[in-house]
Amino acid sequence: IKFKLSLPQLKDNVQLKEQLFHGIKAGNMAPYYKEVCTDLGWPLDQKLFDEMAKLNQERLSKFEEDDSETPVWQ
C-alpha cells in the first residue's frame, strides 16, 4: 500500500491512506509509522507515535520478563 501511495496518480487516494493507517495503528507499528510519514510527506502525530512506542516497549518488557522466567535446558 505504501508503494501505491508513493505513485503520483495514487498519492491522494483516501481509501489507500485509511487502509495503511488502520493497519499501522492496529499493529502498533511505531517505527513504520514514522517511516511512512517521512517517505510520503504526511504529518507525524507525535502523540500517536509515543502511544504506539510505549505499547511496544511494554510488550517487549513482558516478553523479556517471561523469557527470564523460562528455564533453559542444557
From first to last of its 74 residues, what are the pLDDT tens digits of the chain? 999 999 999 999 999 999 999 999 999 999 999 999 999 999 999 999 999 999 999 999 888 777 666 666 66
**Whole-number pLDDT of residue 69:** 63
| Domain boundaries, given as residue ranges, for the chain | 1-46
Record the cell numbers describing residue 45, joined without a space. 502525530
Closest CA to 43 of 69, 16, 21: 21
Record the cell numbers describing residue 46, joined without a space. 507525535
